[in-house]
Amino acid sequence: MNGGKTALHETLRRQILTLELAPDDDLDEVKLSQEYGISRTPVRDVLRQLAVEGYVDIRENRGARVVPMNHSTLRDFFLIAPMIYEAVGRLAVQNFRPNQLEALKACQERFRAAIAERDPEKMVVENNRFHELIGEMANSAFLKPSLNRLLIDHARIGHTFFRPATVEMEANLTKSCAHHDEMIRALTERNEALMVDLVFEHWDLSRQNMELFIAPTALESETANRLASRQPEKGKKGAVGASESK
């Protein structure tokens, strides 16, 4: 890709992963062409490439949009993700090459630096890249498309993980980084059993946070509180009424 196409490709990927572009958002070819100073043909090339990678949905006569996220895809995600992640982890241990391990270590250092800088955008991007690299290590033509699609929704559903608002979430972020270090150790030692254990620990950590995103704690409601406080009083009046009627 040339400079403009590369910049557009990387920017759209980042914006989709971080929800700067929301699911179902339309992608205007003319606007993108003007913004990046390239003609519509390379813009279409980028959108087609992003469609292959799972980021974009191209509809005939309706243009491109950010890949949607709905009840059906969410249900599928939570059912399938653990199985895909386990299979990828096993194959990565068996198939990785030394230069890939070095790339993974470099990515982990960028992720660690992003945590230290408290840069949620960089954390999302580097975490996503870390798991993409493990997918490349697995070297499976069958698993790679599924993994890439899962990682996109994993980033979008779990984006709040990288904006820790509580002490517990802060601790989970530290634990997530430690899991990455241990995965690198498991790969280095070709320890498949350890890798699988880490995959499921890492998934469980993420799943808890993603469930909070899907079903957040209810907002405080003064009206609901007032109604709740009146319930015992109503019960008391009912009891008095019943005794009087006897």
Task: Tell me, yes or no, whether 188 lies in a domain.
Answer: yes
66 and 55 Cβ atoms separated by less than 8 Å: yes
Residue with tokens 């400079």: 3
Q: Kindly state the percentage of the chain with pLDDT values over 90.
A: 68
pLDDT-derived band of residue 16, with 50, 70 and 90 as boundaries? Answer: very high
pLDDT, averaged across the chain = 88
Domain presence at residue 204: yes
Specify the CATH number for the domain of residue 42. Answer: 1.10.10.10
Instruction: Name the strands in the sheet holding 63-66, side by side, starting at the edge strand that comes first in the sequence.
Output: 26-27, 63-66, 56-59
DSSP secondary structure of 180-234: HHHHHHHHHTT-HHHHHHHHHHHHHHHHHHHHHHHSPPPPP-HHHHHHHHHHHHH
Do 155 and 55 share a structural domain? Answer: no
3-state secondary structure of 158: coil
* Residue 80 and residue 194 share a domain: yes
Residue 190 counted as domain residue: yes
238 part of a folded domain = no
Q: Residues 76, 62: one domain?
A: no
Residue 50 lies in a domain: yes
Q: 116 or 219, which is more confident?
A: 116
3-state secondary structure of 65: strand
Q: What are phi and psi of 215, to 5 degrees?
A: -130, 75
- Which residue in 86, 97, 82, 90 sits closest to 192, CA to CA? 90
- Taking the C-alpha atoms of residue 196 and residue 87, their distance in angstroms, rounded to an integer, is 9
**37 and 79 together in one domain:** no
pLDDT in tens, 43-82: 999 999 999 999 999 998 889 999 998 888 888 999 999 9
Instruction: Based on the fold, state whether residues 115 and 208 are members of the same structural domain.
Output: yes
Mean pLDDT of 5-23: 95
Q: Are residues 80 and 169 in the same domain?
A: yes
Decide which of 66, 83, 112 is a domain's last residue. 66
Residue ranges making up the domain that contains 133: 71-214
Point out which residues pair with 66 in neighbouring strands: 56
Structure token digits, residue 52:
């292959």
Residues 52, 159: one domain? no
∠ CA(74), CA(195), CA(82), 5° rounding?
A: 15
Q: Which of 133, 29, 108, 2 lies closest to 12 in space, CA to CA?
A: 29
User: pLDDT: is 203 or 246 the higher one?
Assistant: 203
Domain edge (last residue) among 12, 43, 66: 66
- Whether residues 62 and 75 share a domain: the answer is no
Do 75 and 182 lie in a common domain? yes
Written as one string, the DSSP assignment of 24-57 is: T-EE-HHHHHHHHT--HHHHHHHHHHHHHHTSEE
Query: What is the tally of structural domains in the chain?
Result: 2
**Domain identity same for 158 and 207:** yes
Q: pLDDT-derived band of residue 243, with 50, 70 and 90 as boundaries?
A: very low
CA 109 – CA 116 distance, rounded (Å): 11
Contact 9, 48 (CB under 8 A): no
Place of tokens 């634990």: 175
CB atoms within 10 A of CB 98: 8
**Same domain assignment for residues 41 and 118:** no
Per-residue pLDDT tens over the stretch 120-166: 899 999 999 999 999 999 999 999 999 999 999 999 988 767 776 67
Q: Which two tokens stand for residue 135?
A: 């997918």
Q: Does the pLDDT of residue 244 top 70, yes or no? A: no
Q: What is the pLDDT of residue 165?
A: 65
Prediction pTM value: 0.81
Q: Are 92 and 176 in the same domain?
A: yes
